[in-house]
Structure 1
Amino acid sequence: MMQHKILIVEDEEIIRLGLQDNFELENYIVETACDGEEAIAKADSFQPNLVLLDLMIPKKSGFEVCRVIRKKHPECFIIMLTAKTEETSKVAGLEMGADDYVTKPFSILELLARVKAFLRRVETTAPKAEAAHTAQDAIDFADVHLDFKKYEATKAGVPLEMSAREFQILKYFWQHRGEVVLREDLLQDIWGYTPENMPSTRTIDNHIVNLRKKLEEDQANPKIILSIRGAGYKFDA
């Protein structure tokens, strides 16, 4: 079993050391950073599988750190840690490329469960990547081109900045195009959560909002990613 690497970005020393102790006890390789500049440097040198990122940090904000790490390391998972309860902060973090968020104060057991769920995806998908691609490497629909191998996207020939998670969602939609995809299906098959540690489906909805901003001509009247009331979404390509 591979030993995963976690970067903890937190300026409060007590929280930072507490998280480090807990994750090292779970046999993770852990590095820490206390400000935004150190976080970006550590992400480059340490190459973590997952980053726990506090939003309110010195020198560079968590939003900026998230944007930079997502662009330079598209396959790294990012979980935001924030004391803010405003929905706008969580949405902004997801727009910058975060995969999920946990609001302080949080349960360490819940956080450990979420991290394990994300990193389970690394173990299950890595062997498959070497053997064969499970779907087309590139697809086209409407005026959108997606290259899943290169993590590149364009709309009407103009490059789109998209996170690895957004590529994974769209790949899943493409594989299930025309079908109703439940939010719970996405959380289990893309995020790696189980029914026992399932978070709020609001994480899914926020990602869909971001995708519609990038793909739809009219976000208020989507034609590609359709909402199915009380169930989930349908990809109409």
Structure 2
Amino acid sequence: AARHAERDSRVAPVHAPPEQGLAGARNAGMRAANGTYLLFLDGDDVLVPGALAALDARLADTGDVDVLHFEHERVPWWEGEPANPAAPLLADTPDGAFAPGRARGLTGVLLPAWSAAWRRAFAAEQCLAFPPGHFTDIGWGGLAMLGAERVAVLRAVVVRHLVRRQGSRPNLPGGHHAELLDQADLVLARAADLEVSADRAGPLFEQLFAAVLKTAAHPRRLPSGRR
């Protein structure tokens, strides 16, 4: 990062305390950002060629939106076929900018934070920050979509995610899986405070409950004493 900054004045390395983890790093980046939209990219992700131009063109078509969801590709580094898990979620959404209630499946729970562009002013207005702990994308995405008023989608792959052979940390065994309950509680509490309509609350609860149930029923993720 420092070498890139030496070559390009637009690059500004930002440091976050390691103990704050992924959430702390992203929050530090948001505080330092000054662009119109926020894009998150983890160490095992890359932007596909032409990604930024495609995002710019799509935003020119839709106008200012709070969230622009896009597709991503999961690519196993050793063997297996690439997958595009976002495509089915985005397939039946309206063509232009729309209110979140018109796309019931887009609750923010099923897509990672790096599979969307987030309007920075919207994030600031909503006082959005990544919650500490594991599964922070669920907390962020759920809270963001509860506050969003105009969203849009780009039905094209923007990020290529490299799937590591050993799997991601959230899929490894350990007591950290209990933190999924904290993220779900955070989102559901906000939904209750906002008194969101049943057509939005229903899919949100279903997706959160499915994630919790999948983890609780997995034979290896949680220690048997905590299941």
TM-score, scaled to structure 1: 0.31
Higher RCO (C-alpha under 8 Å, 6+ residues apart): 2
Higher share of residues assigned strand: 1
TM-score, scaled to structure 2: 0.32
